[in-house]
Structure formats: C-alpha cells, structure tokens
Amino acid sequence: MKYSHSKRCFDLLVSLCASLILWPMIVLIALVVLIGDGWPLIYTQKRAGFKGKAFTLYKFRTMKPVSGDVEGDNDALRITSLGYWLRQTSLDELPQLWNVIRGDMSLVGPRPLPMTYVDRYSYEQKQRLMAMPGITGWAQINGRNTLSWNEKFILDTWYVKHVSFWLDVKILFLTVLRVMQRKGIMHDSAEPDTTMPEFLGEKVQPNHKNVED
C-alpha cells in the first residue's frame, strides 16, 4: 500500500495543531524529567519505518541508564517512578509528534519496532511494514502490551489490509478513550515485565529480556 497524500496532509495538520496546543505540557514534562531523572530527556532508538527503512524514534526517557549490574539492567527495575506515570498516561509518546511532522511516522499505523526485528518476521508479519508506522494503532487500542507478539502482528496486518480515513479517525478517538481509562497501557502489576519481551521470531520467545514499546 502507499502512504497517500490525503493521509499525509491529515497527519501533518493534526500533529502541527497538537504540537501548538500541547507545547506548554511538552515543555513542562521535559522540565520535570530533567529535575526528577536528569539528562538525557529523550530516549532515541533506530526503528523500522515504511518498507523497513530505518529512522530515529523519539520518546521521553522513562528508564534509568544502563548501570552495568544485572539487577539495574533489568528493564522492569529500570523504569523510574516518573517514567511509570508517563507510560500509564502515554505522555512519553508526545515527542513522536516530531516524527510525524518529519514524515517518519503517521498518527495511526503499526507501532515501529527495532531494526533487528525485521529479519525475524515471517512473510505475513512483514506486511506490517507496508504501512507507515504510527504513534497509535489497531493493536494499541485492542490491548497493547497485554497482547502476545503474534496477536499484535495479526492486528497490525489486518490494519494494513483495511486502512481508511474513517478507521484512522476511529482509532484516534478510541486511543484517547483508552488513555483516559488507562486501559491496556501496561500490565496490571509492576512486578512482572512492564515492557514487551524481545521478539526473536516465531520459534522462541524469551520472558526475561524487555524492550520499550
């Protein structure tokens, strides 16, 4: 599928308006992260974009830097108190409005995943790369981190095959609703994995190594 001009115009218009409206909140969050957790403010990682092209994704940092000790390198334990709240409210995703403005992402689409995952996809799973990745998507409003990788990929490929303007509007509306309800954002308990386990392919899935969504 192609990233249509109408979808791009919609993304650009909404993301620019959202940035103008939310800039005081974005600045405030940046200051709180700086005071509470220090530098850097932004978490960056190379992710797979449209057709697998690499781009740099931006989020507010929610984890302590890797410390070198085993316990400190466990993602579930590295999430800060402020980071936990940012994830619950999805405010850590706000810097991705810049990704949308730049043309790296869409407002709605499959979530962009690390570049290392691309070669691990099955043929069907690779179809998710045929849509521009999004800040939110069909999988996000239907469970997000409560879903298995296989369930996420099924929802992602369904979206790619059925994408439309009104489906995007529906997903954006339901995203706001889910965030207000704090539903499907994280696991109910902070003790088990609070981020998704690393995707290694269809054969083996670990339950100890985590990655940021």
Position 124 confidence tier, pLDDT thresholds 50, 70, 90: very high
Position 202 confidence tier, pLDDT thresholds 50, 70, 90: confident
Q: What's the pLDDT score for residue 68? A: 57
Q: What's the pLDDT score for residue 146? A: 82
Bridge partners of 148?
none
Where do the domains of the chain lie? 5-202
Structural contact between residues 157 and 149, judged by C-beta atoms closer than 8 angstroms: no
Segment 143-193, tens digit of pLDDT: 877 889 999 999 999 999 999 999 999 999 999 988 887 665 543 333 333
List helix spans (H) across 61-185: 75-78, 81-89, 96-102, 149-162, 165-181
Does the pLDDT of residue 210 top 80, yes or no?
Answer: no
Q: How close are the terminal C-alpha atoms of the chain, in Å?
A: 24
Which of 7-11, 45-49, 61-65, 70-74 is predicted with the least confidence, judged by mean pLDDT?
A: 70-74
Q: What's the pLDDT score for residue 143? A: 84
Segment 12-67, tens digit of pLDDT: 999 999 999 999 999 999 999 999 888 899 999 999 999 999 999 999 999 887 76
Give which of 106, 115, 139 is closest to 1, Cα–Cα. 106
Name the most confidently modeled range: 2-16, 83-97, 114-128.
114-128
Scan for tokens 């980071």, then name that residue.
83
The Cα 151–Cα 154 span in angstroms is 5
Per-residue tokens: 41: 């403010």
Counting every residue written for the chain, the total comes to 213
